Amino acid sequence: MLRIGIWQVDPESNRLSQNGVHRSIQPLTMNILIHLASHPGKVVTNEELLEQHWKGRVVANDAVHRRIADLRKKLGDDKRQPTYIETVHKKGYRLIAKVQRADELAAKHRSSAGEVVIAIDSYGREDERTSSRLLQEEISGLLLKVGWIRVLPGNVLDNSRYRLRVGTKIIGSRLRLTCQLADNATESEISMFSREYESESIFFAKSPAICSGVISVVIGEILTAERHRVVSIPIDQATSWELCMKCGDDDLDTAIGQEKTEKLLIRALDRDPSHAHAHARLAYLFAYSATAGRKSPAELLDRARFHLDQALAMERRDPFVINDCVMTLAHLGEIERASELGDALHRYFPVWEWSHMSTLLLERSEYAEALQRLEEHTTYHPEPLPVKSRESIIILLLNSRFKEARQIALRAAVFRNHSFVDWAIYANVLGHLDRSTEAVGAWSRAKELARGLSIERWHQRWSNQFHNPEVSEVLTNGLKKVGVE
């Protein structure tokens, strides 16, 4: 995989791609393009191309010329004013466009500061472009508040790792919002989602609730893509950001995973002591571990408070840093301080308000308020699987909305099919519905995925991490009802 000029070139599929446009070319023509790209800026003679690609076969005198003409047509090149392939009189051809390989493109965007670059533009019919541009401006402004993201205009693609295209379409009194996120290095689509809203004005597209809902999906997809990207990067070559990305949320559910996460984050801080994201994640890790029953809880809580203070001294705007800090405070039992910390951020990111408030409201026993916030969140959030699905399930159970809890628990278990945590939660929800046979099956699946770990001990620790005993009970009562625990 490589890029030539504005075109993404895939030799395996014999295809050129750019901005959603795809063009197929014949295998022999692709081989000639790759040959020229292997010698950028240098003259490749007719004789060399004939010998390399026709291998002594008798062909017409203009065989090479016809292939070059076909290439120019596919690339949109002009023979008289070339930007890709230049004819060198009586000698041959020279590729003059810039050539970059996929690994070079990926390395180009690596930064020790952990900066991810995204280009954003809008599209649509001219009479609908106003709402698209308003949406683009609002999303760009919100993304700029995320400390590890740098936003560029949509026409500056060479320096961006990702590209986000946003569009709106007015259908009567409804406004359809569509977003496409793509990997700029490979021209591959990462995610596309669309949603319709009742609207009386094009300015509805600027609604913070809508924009922050879009951003939560976009950032979630970027984080997933980043985690896939850093898997193959050796730890000793990874930046602080990449080390943080190697830490998955599911790692917090086991002692082995917690130890692995701690080592990676400590290494990240060795590389960059001012990395707020690593401090915040360590604070949450230690607070979570202490309340989940790990050894030396008093020492862990002290370490959690230290890294919490470090993170807050460095960054009070990035939603991911703040989210980890709020969750740390919740595990420390400092509910009011957690609420105060999240207030300023919620004005810009209403979806993150749900992320913070779900746990806080559960601890305060404000279940009806938590349910109302959940319903408001799912109204604006474009994803089928809600953010913080586990908290969503608890809220629904505490409000006796068992069937809805089952729907989310099932989606979570299928969506994260290899997570024993989600299958254990699904088993508990089935227990509340007295579906004992299915509950036993889900519990067996959870134990199978746990691979020898004590899932019973984990489940007890997880339920005990909440300071509110009613929450702890709802996490275990379903299993007790069907006798699988």
Please report, for the chain, the start and end positions of each structural domain, with discontinuous segments joined by +: 2-101, 109-230, 235-482
What is residue 415's predicted lDDT score, i.e. its pLDDT? 72
CATH code: domain 2-101 is 1.10.10.10
pLDDT at 445 > cutoff 50: yes
Q: Which CATH superfamily is domain 109-230 in?
A: ABC-type transport auxiliary lipoprotein component (3.40.50.10610)
pLDDT at 94 > cutoff 90: yes
Contacts with 52 (C-beta within 8 Å, 6 or more apart), sequence order: 35
The label of the residue with tokens 């026993």 reads 365
Burial class (CB within 10 angstroms; exposed 0-12, middle 13-18, buried 19+) of 456: middle
Q: Which CATH superfamily is domain 235-482 in?
A: Tetratricopeptide repeat domain (1.25.40.10)
The label of the residue with tokens 């070059």 reads 68
| Contact present, 476 and 466 (Cβ < 8 Å) | no
Query: What are the tens digits of pLDDT across the range 170-223?
Result: 777 777 888 888 887 766 788 887 777 766 555 555 566 667 667 767 777 787
Tell me if domain 2-101 and domain 235-482 are identical in fold.
no
CA distance 245 to 323: 16
Mean pLDDT of the chain: 78
Query: What are the tens digits of pLDDT across the range 39-57?
Result: 888 999 988 888 888 877 8
The label of the residue with tokens 């002009």 reads 78
CB half-sphere exposure, 126, CA atoms < 13 A? 0
